[in-house]
């Protein structure tokens, strides 16, 4: 039977089972002892949050193929306070690496989200305030959230993926994993959209 896991990836962990550089960095192998599963998508080592792992190749392909618009939701702690104009720019699309990003959902969170502390903590600068943005994207370009916030003058200090589609990170601590529930799996499979054009 195929396996489907939800993992709260901690900061600094590679989204693979071996560190091919030989530098001894932490990998999924340090947390997950289920044979044959692989990450469906990537999450940079300096990002945290929800990672799906599976041995279902067809679902893995659909989740990672850019032609399918699976929404991914992130909480980004940024340096500075976003203006309404900056939020609108993020929603309508910004130019990164010479191409405009797809329209996204963006909003300023009115209070700090209830996340576990990051290890190591971010570096605060007393003279510069920080704020939290929620961004929902339907594409997964390399370091996209960080590049988007930088494009509107708001460098990202901490980045946590909190949802893929309707599947949310609730109830896990960094380093924890659990199987998807039948309802979560059904939601993920029913959300498969046909390729565009």
Instruction: Point out the residues that are catalytic.
Output: 44
The helix (run of H) or strand (run of E) holding residue 85 is helix 84-92
DSSP 92-117: H--EETTEEPPP-EEEE-SS---PPP
User: Cα–chain-centroid distance for residue 89?
Assistant: 20
| Six-digit token string for 91 | 């929603």
Q: Count of alpha carbons within 13 Å of 121, Cβ hemisphere only?
A: 5
Tell me if 25 sits within 8 A of 44, measured CB to CB.
Answer: no
Q: Count of alpha carbons within 13 Å of 100, Cβ hemisphere only?
A: 8
- Strands 4-9, 177-179: pairing is antiparallel
């Amino acid at each position: 039977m195929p396996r489907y896991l939800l993992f709260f990836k901690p900061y600094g962990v590679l989204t693979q089972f071996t560190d091919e550089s030989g530098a001894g960095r932490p990998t999924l192998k340090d947390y997950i002892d289920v044979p044959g599963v692989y990450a469906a998508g990537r999450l940079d080592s300096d990002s945290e949050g929800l990672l799906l792992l599976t041995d279902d190749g067809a679902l893995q392909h659909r989740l990672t193929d850019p032609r399918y618009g699976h929404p991914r939701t992130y909480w980004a702690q940024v340096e500075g306070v976003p203006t309404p104009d900056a939020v609108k720019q993020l929603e309508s699309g910004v130019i990164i690496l010479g191409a405009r990003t797809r329209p996204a959902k963006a909003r300023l969170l009115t209070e700090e989200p209830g996340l576990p502390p990051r290890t190591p903590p971010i570096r605060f600068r007393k003279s510069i305030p920080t704020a939290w943005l929620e961004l929902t994207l339907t594409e997964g370009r390399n370091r996209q959230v960080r590049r988007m916030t930088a494009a509107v003058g708001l460098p990202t200090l901490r980045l946590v993926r909190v949802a893929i589609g309707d599947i949310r990170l609730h109830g896990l601590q960094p380093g924890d994993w659990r199987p998807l529930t039948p309802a979560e799996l059904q939601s993920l499979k029913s959300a498969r959209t046909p390729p565009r054009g």
